[in-house]
Each structure stands twice: as C-alpha cells, then as structure tokens.
Chain A
Amino acid sequence: MIASGFDITVCVLLCLCALAAVTGRDTFRAIVFFIVYGLLISVAWLRIDAIDVALAEAAIGAGLTGVLLLGAFGQMGSADTMAREPRGAVLIALVAGAGIGAAVLFAVQGLPPEGAGLTAEVLAQLEASGVGNPVTAVLLNFRGYDTLLESIVLLVALIGVWSVASETGWGERPGIVHHARAGGTLQSFGRFLPAIGLVIGAYIVWAGSSGPGGAFQGGTVLAAVAILTILAGLVDAPRVTTRWLRWALVMGPGVFLGVALLGLFGGAFLVFPQAVAYPAIVAIEIVLTASIALTLVLLVLGPPREAPQ
C-alpha cells in the first residue's frame, strides 16, 4: 500500500511530539506531549491494520504509562534533580543517538519489500488453534509460552514495586494517600478519561465482530479504567497483605501453567487438543486477563504507603 499524505502527517506529528517530549524544558509538558504521542501512535497502529496493538498502546502505552509518569512527577516535585554531567554530554548524546538511529534507518530501508512474515502459517493453523483472532491465537496458543512468561514478568515487577515500600508501610494499601497533593494530577487525568472510554467503546464493537479473541487485550483497557476510578478516590485499593488479592494475582499464571503442565502426561507442554482448545483457551484467557489487569492496576498504584497519621 502506498503511503498517503495522512500517513506522512501522522509520522511527522509523531516525531514532533517525541521531540517535544524528549527535549522540552518543562517535565509536566513533556509528559503531556508523551500522552498525546501515545494516542497518535494508536492512530498509526490503526493505519497499519493492527487494531489489537492500537488498543493496547492506547490503554497501556499512553494511558497507564502516562498516569504513572504524571503520578511520579506529582510526588517527586523538585526532588527530581539532575546529576551534574559534563558539558559535551549533549553533543555526544546527539552523535550516539543519531548514529544508532541512522543505522536502524539504514536497516529498515534495506529490508526486502515483500516479506510476509508468518501470516500464512498463522492463518493456516488458525482453525486448529481454537480461536478466531489470529493475534490471540499467537498470544495464547502458538506463542503462549511467551505470554505465560510475560504474565510472570508483570508479577515480578509488582513484587519489585512492593519491595521498595518503606518498612513501616508494609501491609498497608498501595497508592498515593488521597489527601496528599493529588488534585492537580487527577484533574489532568480527567481530561483523558473520555478519550479512553471512547477507545473502549470502539473495542467492544470490534471484539463482537471478530470472535472471542479480544478479551486479553480488553482486560488491559479495563485495568486502565479501574485505575482511574481508584485514583479518583471512588474505591479504595486493597491492602497488599490481603489474602484474596494475592491468590487473585497468581490465579491467572497459575492456571495457565497448570494447564500447560497437564500436557506433560501426553508428552508435550502447553498443548490444547483441538477438541477442547476453544473452551480451554477462553477459560485461561478470562482468568489470565483478570490477573494481568489486576497486576497492572497495582503496578500503577505503586508500593504500599504508610497509613496517614
């Protein structure tokens, strides 16, 4: 497909937003540019026919990451100081960044123009995979092992986030204490809430049309909404020591791993016999999605805090 003017405009805007986010003097504005950049890149994903990625990027890339960065900015304030670095550092950074970027550019334009990747193979086995959405087929069946490990990565990051809690904060609720200075930040979230809601709407329409495959990607969107609800003070996050919370966190990866291990009785790992592939994958998808969404929520909320005095 030939690039249209729209494509080029999107790309130019993307680069400009990135430039502003990277070089701007003011950190808050840089983060806002970053969030705009995230929404723009979702548009780019739609243009290259990757709706699943567009959703994930909007919800996670722009939404959750933006929330994280804004929250961090709100709490750091002036504490986020720069280390002193030598004068020539900017110049060297420019050379190194441009050098690596040029190498990548050189590589991209050298790629064969008709590489189709594994599209044909995936479509040929889609029937056997038990799901209708090829992306989900790859995520949960063909390369389900990656997804299993990814869900563990999330858990590890969560444990890591929790582990930097203050000693006195252990066992408390995660997240910023509400009557701390959260107001300014929350207001800016408010502005993006409708945008994200819109994406959710679009998603639901799409998911209905293309089979049961979208729940995984959808879970991430739900997580984004849940976080905003908590941050807005409507719901309290549970304490990190809550038993149900911990079981819910490990339930998804646990069930996935358990089902995968069942295959060992037949001499294989992570297999879904075609007869049960559909129900098995849907079941795993739901549990895994719930766990991943919950993990995402807690990741963004941060370590448990000391109880307000």
Chain B
Amino acid sequence: MVHPALLVAPIAAPLLAALLAIAFPRGAVAAALSAVGVALVASLVLVVEVARTGTGAALAIGGWPPPLGIALEADGLSAMFLLAASTIGLGVLVVAQGPFGWTGRETRKGYSFWPLALCLLAALNAIFLSRDFFNFYVGLELLSLSAVALVALDGKREAIEAALRYLMFALVGSLLYLLGAALLYAQYGTLDIGLIAASAETNGPTLVAAGLMTAGLAAKTALFPLHAWLPSAHTGAPAVASAMLSALVPKASFFILVRVWFDALPGQAGPGLTLVLGTMGAVAIVYGSILALLQERLKLIIAYSTVAQLGYLFLVFPLAGGDSTAQPWFAGAWTGGMVHAVSHGLAKAAMFLCAGAMMAAAGGDKLSDVRGIVAKMPLATFAFALAAVTLMGLPPSGGFLAKYLMLTAAFASGAWVWGAVVLAGGLLAALYLYRPLASLFAPADPDRTFTSVPLRTELVPLALALVAVLLGVASQFPYDILQVGRSVAAEAGLE
C-alpha cells in the first residue's frame, strides 16, 4: 500500500508553489524548483513501488469512492507519464531561471512564467492520475489555459496570434470532450472510468459521446489535419515553454484518449475508429515530415517534427493487440506507443532546450545562424544529436524500443501498411533531421562569433537526451512498468 502523499504530491506541490509564486514572486524560482523536485521524487518512488508490487496505487479523494467522489489512481502508465512530466518539468525550470529568474525587479514575463509553468505541470500530473471524466476536463482546461498563456508570453504579434489560434482549437476541443463526458454521465450515472467500463454497452449515446470526445481530444493532440495551430504556437512561445508544450502537453489529451478507448469503452471501438485514427496518424507522419523538411528555422523543424511524431501515437489504435498469442513482446503495440510518448517527450524537450540555448548564442534560429555552433556548444550539439537518434528511432534509444514494439506488432498481425508507415517515418525523420545536424556540425565561418550561454542550458538537454536513450538500453524496466494495470484491451485489441 502506497502512502497517499505519493499520489497527491505531484499535483499539490506544484500547485502550492504556483500560489506562492503569485503572492510572492521573489520566491518563485526556489518554490518552483523545490516543488517540482518533490513531485519528481514522489513519482520516482511511485514508479519503483508500482514496479516492485506489480499493482497500481489508488486513493479515493475525501474518502468518497466513485461514483460519488473522485479517485486518483496510478497504474504503470500513469507512473511512467508522471515521471516523464516531472523529469522534463524540472529540467525546463532549471533552464528557465536564466530568462525568467528574479532580477531584482518584477517584470511582466518573469512574474507570469512561474505560476503558468507550475500550473501546467500540476495539470499534467492531475490528468495522469485521474480516473474521472469530468476531472479530466478541469485538468485539460487548466492545462490549455496555462499553455496558451505561455505561448503568448513573448508578447510579439506572431506569438499572440498563435496563442489565439491555439486557444480557439483548444476551446472547441474541450467543449466537444465535455459534451461527450456529459452524455456518458447521462447514460451511465457515473464519470468514473472503471464504473463506466463495467456497465458500458453499445448504443447511440455511448458512441456519439465517444466520438465527440475523440474528435475534441484529437484537436487538442494536434492530430493531422487538426494540427495547424501547433507549429506557430510552439515556435512563438519562449523556447523553455516550447519544450514543455511540445514534449508534454499533447500527451495529456492523448493519455485521456487512451483511457477513453482502452480503459472505459474498449468494446465500443469499431473499424471506423481504428481506421480513421490510424490513417490520420499515418498521414501526420508523412505530412509533418515533409513540412519539417521544408523549414529553414530550427524551432519550426522541431515543431513540425512534433506533428509527425504525434502521428505514431495514433497507430496504437489500429495496431494494439496485434497478436497476443505470440511471444510476450509481440503484443507490444500499445506498450510501444506509450514508450514512444515518453521517449519523444524527453527527446523533444531536449531539442527545444538546445534550440533555445543556440538561439541565445547565435541570435537567431535560422539554420544559417546556428551553422558551425558545435565548436562553441559541443554539449548542446551532442544533446541535439542524441535526441535526433531517439526521434529517428535508431538503436539503442527509447525511440527504437517504441518503433521495434510497434513494428513487431504490425508484422506479427499482418498489418503491413502500418508497419511500412513506421519504417518510412524513421527514414523521413533521418531526412529532416539531417539538415539541422549537418548545419550544427558544419565548420563555422572563422569570423563568426557566438554569445556565451550558461552551462546549465547545455547540460539539461544533454541529461534529458541521455535519459531518452537510456530508456531503450534498459528496455526491460519501462516495458515491465507499463504492463502494470494495463487494460485488457491493450493486449486483446480494440474492436
């Protein structure tokens, strides 16, 4: 039995720190770092406990079990996502001390950043721990509003425009999701995932509810063709914020989507769902890659790479449970998708932080600006390359583990098309990452000078990229963790 504090801390600690940062901005940095540190330790202990005991941890808030109350629950998936969010969050906040730290005078950006970032992390953790469809909604709104505000933080015209567009997509997405949740409550008299799963049946309201939720969440996850808000938003935000936005925020809505289909309504998925989500994911991979290939700015390449990489997540739906009778690792499409979510998060955060550090050093993020920066920033360049290895799905990174699990499932179940898409995605990633890598590693002009940046802006992305690679080296651990509390549908398949 895990102490409830472990489940509460990842949510409550950042929230407390956010409140403190609002009331007492001088203490924001200290409060933020210690709070996210606490959240990180709590999620780490949680992961270890979940792995050790092989069971999830649950807490009925207020002592009111569902359906009346809300339950927090950490299964393997929750624990992994929590750990990823806290790891990335801590890294981002450490780097953020530079641009947003206390400088003796309160500034608009310096004041606003900390509460927003902390609430964003708290919202992520709240979503990862929740089992209640309305609580998901509140968490999503907390997440979206803080994310939108972070996008606009720079105050430039493009940033505000991007934030507004993001907000429009996010709002409609939330509303459709909420409508679905309301219909589910009207049908089943509960909002709890487990209770709905126990009584779910195939009927009009349930299907419409699931459809509305899926459409809304797809818009929030920036699944092609609902991705158009993402590149400008992730490019317009300050680089440290982009790291969280690109690495973590879309994963929250994807997480809920997984909960909807695999945990709450596994019997309701039909070929329409799997085919539509799979096709959109596949197109996202190809389309996002092509657009990444066409960009000249580092941040835009990374942002379009996110569009492409998010596509992989949705291949989980057609692939899940490809062939559960084969060897254990052949049932791994679901696990592969989740590993992909985590390793992409780590690698993408590392990349955006690298891009931020390089922008600071080079004064711009055009490929021509950062040309030859390896001589000045070897660690950041190395971190970028490591992150690229993960995104390309090269061994032994976490990206490879994910790709491997998805491919085996695809081939084992004869789903050649999806397998081919996964393979092509790796090649395309290599193609669009080649240019930034070649530019970074190129010999610089002798008269080109770069500004010095603090060492931590190079070390943090390096650490994140290394963790992403480590995920693939010590592959058994993430694999085992994700099996704890995994829904039956992840193994037996949707439909």
Contacts and interface: CB of A to CB of B under 8 A. Distances in A.
Q: Do A and B interact? A: yes
B62 A247 contact: no
B115 A155 contact: yes
B155 A156 contact: no
B4 A264 contact: yes
A107 interface: yes
A143 B189 contact: no
Contacts of A241: 106
B138 A149 contact: yes
Contacts, number: 172
Contacts of A152: 15, 18, 119, 122, 142
Interface residues of A, number: 57
A164 B155 contact: yes
B152 A160 contact: yes
Interface string A177-212: 000000000000000000000000000000000000
Interface residues of B, number: 65
Contacts of B123: 149
Contacts of B135: 143, 145-146, 149
Contacts of B106: 170-171, 241
A253 B15 CA distance: 9
A interface, by DSSP: helix, strand, loop or mixed?
Answer: helix
B8 to A, nearest CB: 5
B112 interface: yes
A9 to B, nearest CB: 25
B22 A250 contact: yes
A156 B134 contact: no
Nearest to B5: A264
Nearest to B160: A164
A70 interface: no
Contact of A247 (B23, B64, B68, B211): B23
A146 B61 CA distance: 10
Contacts of A121: 67-68
Given A112-B187, A142-B68, A155-B115, A167 B155 contact: yes
Interface string A152-172: 110111011011111100110
Nearest to A164: B152
27 contacts: A103-B211, A110-B203, A110-B204, A115-B186, A118-B189, A118-B190, A143-B134, A149-B135, A149-B138, A152-B15, A155-B22, A156-B145, A159-B116, A160-B116, A163-B149, A163-B152, A164-B149, A164-B160, A167-B108, A249-B22, A249-B23, A254-B19, A264-B5, A267-B4, A268-B4, A269-B8, A269-B72
The 9 closest A-B pairs by CB, nearest first: A160-B149, A163-B112, A107-B208, A110-B204, A250-B19, A107-B205, A170-B108, A270-B62, A149-B138
Interface of A: 100, 103-104, 106-108, 110-112, 115-118, 121-122, 125, 141-146, 149-150, 152-153, 155-157, 159-160, 162-167, 170-171, 241, 246-247, 249-250, 253-254, 257, 260-261, 263-264, 267-272
